[in-house]
């Protein structure tokens, strides 16, 4: 006899079937039945301060391991508060499930209390969405939602459940499989053999091949396959912001991050290569700069599971539609290692001639702080960030060696993402050391989630780079708006007191010689969050930089310009052996 369950109970049972053990959310009138059913279940329900926080926690949870983050909100304002989180997940292809309450089905369209057209509002920012109109469809809908969120190019899926559906009873049967005729992703995942063969031939013949790898490598769990492929064929690797950690930066073949604030030698390598192999990357405008002048000397291979990305912004010579893990495995078998000896020497020289540096100054320097965190954690922490200068410094000066160790909003660039993402990541990997590298501007957009972190006694560490401003905005105002600081100065705030008010540990650091001790102290505290407020130099800029609309190999704030302008600190890499000559490997 199949059990008769309410819609709310079906939601809980279905989540259990999907292996969900934690959900993030806020209850309200239209999702109370779901929260009531969750209350009586083994699932850990994390009450967040704000629904946006819940969505980023689900996102951080998902990015930190291979499981699906789930967030819950009530109808109307609860649901609209999820928009930014779902858009963030959509842009970076993160599988999350959002379950929203909705007004009674017969009231939909009536401007009922706390009613919003949630499916309509979310349509452009989710991979797929459902409005459940019959309780009998609920279990199948949840099964489909998980399937769609996690397969192909992953992404967020929304399930909107009217409260009367949550209360109605039906027989519960969780389907074993899904069949969605319009969802053709299976045919893409394996990769087309003819396309792979053509790409393999091009690689075998290349003299200056360069792997340009993105978030797709992390998402498909292909870091191992990528590393094997690159090492076997001696092909250097540059990664995007979302691709950080997909290839160990300790490896001599690593050329580091490319793009607007990428390393000079990474962008120059792109300009000089004769074959650019894009792997799970999408030629984002922050990577290419002026598209017409991007990597013009090269033929291009594009490996992506999403066919709509091929030829979208850059015309490629060898498209390969397929899951990057499968494709890399097949390529490793097919490719005859090209002779890249001279090319590696050339890159090695560029690396020596154009290192990533910063000027030594008396006050606290964010680059130095991040290098010290990198050293203290041995590159084994999970980093989350907000968006802005601190995000770029984290990307530049932390040494990423493991996939899923950099959790950042790349596509949407969502300020405030760092703290809730860190909370989600810590739930996903309770034994890992999680650092939120944040800025005072970004942090304040979601700082109320300190309450969630404190209540759950999460030992996350927050390195707050406080310069009393929206630093990246200020940098652009200095560069392009004649230093008119329109609304970029933030009101001073005592972040130590703020942290303490929420029950977290607050530490203020004002001098360089206090940095290591503060980091060490934060790493000893394991029963609550620690916020370190670093009072950094206010006018420090992120260099180098590709000015908007310029080709990516024409950078400003380069090594040359900084070198002529005073003292220059040590290059970013602390492990000196990593700077060894590429050609020796």
DSSP-derived secondary structure for 341-368: HHHHHHHHHHHHHS-------SSB-HHH
Say if CB 386 and CB 439 are below 8 A apart.
yes
Q: Compare residues 125 and 472 and give the one whose CB is closer to other proteins.
A: 125
Q: Tell me, by CB under 8 A, how many residues bind other proteins.
A: 22
For residue 373, count other CB atoms closer than 10 A to its CB: 26
User: What is the Cβ-side half-sphere exposure of residue 368, based on CA atoms within 13 angstroms?
Assistant: 22
What's the DSSP call for residue 410?
A: -
Residue 131 interacts with other proteins (CB under 8 A): yes or no: yes
Least Å from the CB of residue 315 to other proteins:
7
- Selected from 1, 111, 181, 487, the binder of other proteins by CB under 8 A is 181
Least Å from the CB of residue 312 to other proteins:
6
Only segment of 174-182, 241-249, 277-285, 405-413 that touches other proteins (CB under 8 A):
174-182
Only segment of 31-39, 105-113, 182-190, 529-537 that touches other proteins (CB under 8 A):
182-190
Q: What is the 3-state secondary structure (H, E, C) of 148-203?
A: HHHCCCCCCEEEEEEHHHHHCEEECCCCCCCCCCCCCHHHHHCCCHHHHHHHHHHH
Residue 306 interacts with other proteins (CB under 8 A): yes or no: yes
Q: Give the span between the Cα atoms of 439 and 391, in whole angstroms.
A: 8
Residue 376 interacts with other proteins (CB under 8 A): yes or no: no
Least Å from the CB of residue 148 to other proteins:
6
- Beta-carbon contacts of 201 under 8 Å, excluding residues fewer than 6 positions away, are none
Least Å from the CB of residue 149 to other proteins:
11
Q: Give the span between the Cα atoms of 13 and 25, in whole angstroms.
A: 18
- Selected from 32, 119, 334, 448, the binder of other proteins by CB under 8 A is 119
For residue 202, count other CB atoms closer than 10 A to its CB: 20
3-class DSSP state of 99: strand
Q: Compare residues 180 and 517 and give the one whose CB is closer to other proteins.
A: 180
E strand segments, 48-148: 69-73, 96-102, 128-131
Least Å from the CB of residue 161 to other proteins:
15
Main-chain phi, psi angles of 268, to 5 degrees: -65, -35
Residue 461 bridge partners (DSSP): 435, 530
- C-alpha torsion 65→174→156→457, nearest 10: -50
Least Å from the CB of residue 123 to other proteins:
5
Least Å from the CB of residue 307 to other proteins:
5
Only segment of 4-12, 118-126, 294-302, 390-398 that touches other proteins (CB under 8 A):
118-126
Residue 469 bridge partners (DSSP): 489
- Selected from 40, 66, 120, 380, the binder of other proteins by CB under 8 A is 120
Only segment of 124-132, 168-176, 251-259, 575-583 that touches other proteins (CB under 8 A):
124-132
Q: Give the span between the Cα atoms of 209 and 233, in whole angstroms.
A: 10
- Selected from 39, 66, 113, 124, the binder of other proteins by CB under 8 A is 124
Q: Compare residues 96 and 223 and give the one whose CB is closer to other proteins.
A: 96
| Cis before 544? omega within 30 | yes
Footprint of other proteins on 405-444 (CB under 8 A)? none
Residue 44 bridge partners (DSSP): 22
Only segment of 119-127, 280-288, 388-396, 548-556 that touches other proteins (CB under 8 A):
119-127
Site track 67-106 with other proteins (rule: CB under 8 A), x = hit: ----------------------------------------
Least Å from the CB of residue 179 to other proteins:
12
- Selected from 67, 112, 121, 183, the binder of other proteins by CB under 8 A is 183
Q: Compare residues 324 and 433 and give the one whose CB is closer to other proteins.
A: 324
Q: Compare residues 127 and 351 and give the one whose CB is closer to other proteins.
A: 127
Distances (CA, A) of 545 to 38, 430, 466, 474, 484: 49, 36, 22, 14, 20
Residue 182 interacts with other proteins (CB under 8 A): yes or no: yes
Interface residues with other proteins (CB under 8 A) are 119-120, 123-124, 127-128, 131, 148, 180-184, 291-292, 306-308, 310-312, 315
């Amino acid at each position: 006899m199949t059990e008769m369950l309410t819609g709310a109970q079906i939601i809980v049972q279905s989540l259990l079937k999907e292996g969900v053990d934690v959900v993030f959310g806020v209850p309200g009138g239209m999702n109370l039945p779901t929260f009531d059913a969750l209350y009586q279940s083994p699932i850990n329900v994390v009450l967040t301060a704000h629904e946006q926080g819940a969505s980023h926690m689900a996102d951080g949870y998902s990015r930190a391991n291979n499981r699906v983050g789930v967030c819950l909100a009530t109808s109307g304002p609860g649901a609209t508060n999820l928009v930014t989180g779902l858009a963030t997940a959509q842009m970076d292809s993160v599988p999350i499930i959002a379950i929203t309450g909705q007004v009674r089905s017969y009231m939909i369209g009536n401007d009922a209390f706390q009613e919003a057209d949630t499916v309509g509002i979310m349509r452009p920012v989710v991979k797929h969405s459902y409005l459940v109109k019959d309780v009998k469809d609920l279990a199948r809908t949840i099964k489909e939602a998980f399937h769609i969120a996690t397969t192909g190019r992953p992404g967020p899926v929304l399930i909107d459940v009217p409260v009367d559906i949550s209360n109605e009873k039906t027989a519960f049967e969780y389907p074993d499989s899904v069949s969605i005729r319009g969802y053709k992703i299976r045919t893409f995942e394996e990769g087309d053999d003819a396309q792979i063969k053509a790409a393999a031939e091009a690689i075998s013949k290349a003299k200056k091949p360069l792997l340009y790898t993105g978030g797709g490598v992390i998402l498909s769990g292909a870091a191992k396959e990528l590393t094997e492929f690159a090492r076997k064929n001696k092909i250097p690797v540059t990664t995007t912001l979302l691709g950080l950690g997909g290839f160990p930066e300790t490896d001599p073949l690593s050329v580091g991050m490319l793009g607007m604030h990428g390393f000079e030698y990474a962008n120059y390598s792109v300009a000089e290569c004769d074959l650019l192999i894009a792997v799970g990357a999408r030629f984002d405008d922050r990577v290419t700069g002026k598209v017409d002048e991007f990597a013009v000397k090269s033929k291009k291979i594009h490996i992506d599971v999403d066919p709509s990305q091929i030829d979208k912004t850059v015309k490629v010579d060898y498209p390969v539609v397929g899951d990057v893990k499968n494709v890399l495995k097949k390529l490793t078998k097919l490719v005859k290692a090209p002779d890249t000896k001279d090319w590696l020497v050339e890159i090695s020289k560029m690396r020596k001639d154009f290192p990533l540096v910063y000027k030594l100054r008396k006050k606290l320097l964010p680059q130095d702080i991040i290098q010290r965190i990198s050293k203290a954690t041995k590159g084994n922490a999970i980093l989350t960030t907000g968006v802005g200068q601190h995000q770029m410094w984290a990307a530049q000066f932390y040494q990423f060696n493991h996939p899923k160790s950099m959790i950042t909003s790349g596509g949407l660039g969502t300020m405030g993402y760092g703290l809730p993402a860190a909370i989600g990541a810590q739930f996903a990997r309770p034994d890992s050391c999680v650092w939120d590298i944040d800025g005072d501007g970004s942090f304040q957009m979601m700082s109320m989630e300190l309450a969630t972190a404190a209540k759950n006694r999460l030992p996350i560490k927050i390195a707050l780079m406080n310069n009393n401003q929206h630093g990246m905005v200020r940098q652009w105002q200095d560069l392009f708006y004649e230093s008119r600081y329109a609304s970029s100065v933030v009101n001073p705030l005592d972040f130590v007191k703020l942290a303490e008010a929420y029950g977290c540990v607050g530490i203020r650091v004002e001098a360089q010689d206090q940095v290591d001790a503060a980091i060490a102290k934060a790493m000893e505290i394991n029963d609550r969050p620690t916020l370190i407020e670093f009072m950094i130099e206010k006018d420090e800029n992120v260099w180098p930089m590709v000015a908007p609309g310029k080709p990516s190999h024409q950078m400003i704030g380069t090594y040359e310009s900084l070198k002529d302008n005073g003292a220059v600190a040590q290059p970013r890499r602390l492990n000196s052996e990593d700077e060894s000559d590429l050609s020796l490997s």
